[in-house]
Each structure stands twice: as C-alpha cells, then as structure tokens.
Amino acid sequence: MASDARALDAWQMLLGIEQTARRTPVRPAAAEIVPFTLVSGFLGSGKTTLLQRMLERPAGRRIAVLVNDFGAVNIDAALIRSRGPTVFELSNGCACCSLAAGLAQTLADLLAGPRAFDAIVMEASGIAEPLGILHVALSNPGLRLSTVVTVVDASDVQNQLEDARTRATLEQQIRAADLVILNKLDLVDAGELARARASVAGIAADVRMVSAAHGAVPTELLLDVALTSETGELLANIPVAHDCPYRSHVLETPAVLDQRLLCSLAEALPATILRAKGFVRLAHDPAHRYLFEVAGRRWSLQRQPASATYPHGLVVIGTPSDEDLSTLRVALHACGSAQSATHIQGNDSSR
C-alpha cells in the first residue's frame, strides 16, 4: 500500500518535470529568477494563518501565493483572497488528474505573465510529499529555492508522530524542512514545547525550529532576504521585527574564501542561525562573486554575473548569542584563502 503511494508520487513528479520541460525551454537571466518558498504541514497546523500574516507583513517583497483551494479552507482564507491579484488558487483545471502537471502549468503561466511579484510562496496540500513538489517546481529554470517551511502543531505533534497513519507523511515533511515552525505556542506549556522540540529533533537532528503562536513568524525567515537598503547600505543589527527575538547581524568575510572550508562551516553553523546570505569570492574562481545562502541546514553557492555591484559581508538571521557570533566570526576568518587579492578587480562597493 505505501509503496503504491510512492509509485504514484514518482509518476506525478516525472510528469510534472516533463510538463515543465515542455513549457520552459529557455533559462532566464539571473535577475529574473524568482525565489520559491514551500509551506507544508497538516490541515490544522496553522499554514493558512501563517500565509495570511506573511501577506500582511511582506517585508518589502511582492509575494505571489499559491493556495490549494479557497473553497476548502476556513474564513481566514477569504482574507487571503482579499489581498488582491497576487494570490492564486492552485487549481486542477488543466491537470488531467495530475497535481504535478497542474503545478507545472500554473508556475509556467505565472512566470510568463506580467511580473507583479518578486517571490512565490506555495502552500502544499496537507498530505503532499514536499520533495516531489519541489522537484517539479524547481525544474522550472525561472525559480530557485528559497525556503522549505513545515508548520507543525506543537500541541499535537507527538500524537501525530505516534499515529501510524500520519507518521510517515509528517516525517517526510520534517526531513524536507529548512525551517520547522512549532505553531500553536499558546496551547502548550514549556514542558510540552520541549517535548515537541525533542520529537521533531528525533526525526531530523539539527533542523532549525522556530516556535510561534498563530503563525506569527517574521516574513524574513520565510522568504529570501533583501540584503541592502535602498541606499545600498548593508542592513545591520536591525531587528527583524520589533516584537520578536530574531535579529540580523552582518559579519565580515575575508576577501577570498576557500570553498571547501566555507561549505564545512555552512554545515556546522549553530542551530541559532536560521538564515544567512552574502556575496563572496572563492579561491577557485576569484573573478566572480558567488551568492552564498543558507536556509536551515541547506546551503547553496551560485555564481553571479561579473559586472554587477555587490556589497561585502555576510548577513545572518536568527537568535545567535554573543558567543555564537564571535565563534562564527573566527570561523569565517579561518575560511580565508591564502590566495592573493591583487587580481581582484573593481566594482567592490565597500573596499
């Protein structure tokens, strides 16, 4: 039975990939690539509320939201709908029994149309396997992965993990997550929260967790982070939101970094760091800047066009202690490459 379900997931994914491939032959310019966030979690975990809050506080982004079905959700969804033309229902109309093909088509249409958005957030259906959805969505070269968020009901997660009918799906959702939101904080006491955390950690050892009531999570944690203010200054020490504990910090990075050391560092960041982003130069290719991004345990390095201007430094977001920060500063410094900086050419705004 379970293997039947997996075969279907695989077929759906392959179909979605094929449909995307047929519709998107050309890779767009780097500047046009849109960050994609996936929000998964069971019905009743609070996904919709989270999305609603995100739309109310978009952190300077114009967000296109794909939701499963307006009709099926509760009254809150009407509020999502009322936010205007950037909220889309992920419909099944052209899908011919395949959610994956429907997703491929919806994304292709969105990206081909007028760009009233600069980020896409998708609400996955409660029982969906995130990885399959991601493979389909990301097979579209117009998208890159921002964050995989899994919303979990802190007051019920242990039961859900013990229940054989829900365990497998929930495990998949947690393992796929860059960030787990332990929601419904208002319904649990400290002991229950600690047990919920332990349950989640038991599934994915160092997954980043954020606890919240009513989906109150800063949007910056869910989306791509804007690195510079309008005046070109790197954002530093600005509270992400005045009523929550997350902060952003800017750390200096060496002029040129050894990529292996940097990757090792990325995989060993303290759990208090939820996101990081910066432009760095790497020893094996010093003529280019690389966008270095961390979301939870997942990191990426993407080469950037040579001609643009880039700020220097690494922004990290989370709740790092002073000790975490100083350890991190030292570790970053140790990533510096012995390679000489003399052949690095201009277009470096802070040096």
In the complex, minimum distance from the CB of residue 73 to another protein, in angstroms, rounded to a whole number? 9
**Cβ neighbours around 82 below 10 Å, total:** 9
Sign of CA pseudo-dihedral 173, 20, 77, 219? positive
**Cβ neighbours around 235 below 10 Å, total:** 18
292 near 331, Cβ under 8 Å? no
Q: What share of the chain is helix, strand, coil (3-state, %, to 5)?
A: 35, 25, 40
In the complex, minimum distance from the CB of residue 302 to another protein, in angstroms, rounded to a whole number? 9
**What letter represents residue 193's amino acid?**
L
Sign of CA pseudo-dihedral 273, 168, 72, 7? positive
Euclidean distance between CA atoms 219 and 55, whole angstroms:
9
In the complex, minimum distance from the CB of residue 16 to another protein, in angstroms, rounded to a whole number? 9
In the complex, minimum distance from the CB of residue 9 to another protein, in angstroms, rounded to a whole number? 7
Choose between 91 and 319: whose C-beta lies nearer to another protein.
Answer: 91
Residue 288 interacting with another protein (CB under 8 A): no
Euclidean distance between CA atoms 307 and 291, whole angstroms:
14
Euclidean distance between CA atoms 94 and 22, whole angstroms:
15
**Residue from 79, 86, 91, 341 binding another protein (CB under 8 A):** 91
**Residue from 71, 84, 114, 346 binding another protein (CB under 8 A):** 71
Residue 127 interacting with another protein (CB under 8 A): yes
**Distance from CA of residue 320 to its chain's centroid?**
19
Choose between 86 and 125: whose C-beta lies nearer to another protein.
Answer: 125
Choose between 129 and 224: whose C-beta lies nearer to another protein.
Answer: 129
In the complex, minimum distance from the CB of residue 316 to another protein, in angstroms, rounded to a whole number? 17
Q: Which of these, 223, 250, 260, lies nearest to 311 by C-alpha position?
A: 250
Q: Which one of 42-50, 54-62, 223-231, 304-312 is the stretch in contact with another protein (CB under 8 A)?
A: 42-50
- The torsion of the CA quartet 57, 103, 207, 303, rounded to 10 degrees, works out to -90
Tell me the per-residue interface mask from 186 to 215 with another protein, x by CB under 8 A, - otherwise. Answer: ------------------------------
Report the interhelical angle of 164-176 vs 190-203 (nearest 10°): 80
**What letter represents residue 336's amino acid?**
G
Cα-flanking dihedrals φ and ψ of residue 344, to 5°?
-80, 125
Residue 83 interacting with another protein (CB under 8 A): no
In the complex, minimum distance from the CB of residue 153 to another protein, in angstroms, rounded to a whole number? 13
Choose between 145 and 217: whose C-beta lies nearer to another protein.
Answer: 145
In the complex, minimum distance from the CB of residue 295 to another protein, in angstroms, rounded to a whole number? 10
**Residue from 28, 126, 270, 336 binding another protein (CB under 8 A):** 126
Choose between 234 and 299: whose C-beta lies nearer to another protein.
Answer: 299
Choose between 4 and 230: whose C-beta lies nearer to another protein.
Answer: 4
Tokens representing 299 are: 């990191």
**Residue from 64, 77, 101, 122 binding another protein (CB under 8 A):** 101
Tokens representing 134 are: 């991601």
Strand partners, 300: 293
Cα-flanking dihedrals φ and ψ of residue 241, to 5°?
-155, 145
Tokens representing 151 are: 């919303």
In the complex, minimum distance from the CB of residue 20 to another protein, in angstroms, rounded to a whole number? 8
**Residue from 180, 216, 250, 282 binding another protein (CB under 8 A):** 282
Tell me the per-residue interface mask from 297 to 336 with another protein, x by CB under 8 A, - otherwise. Answer: -xxxx-----------------------------------
User: Which residues would be at the binding site for another protein (CB under 8 A)?
Assistant: 1, 3-15, 17-23, 25, 42-44, 68-69, 71-72, 90-99, 101-102, 125-127, 129, 131-132, 134-135, 138-139, 145, 148, 165, 176, 259, 262-263, 266, 282, 284, 290, 298-301
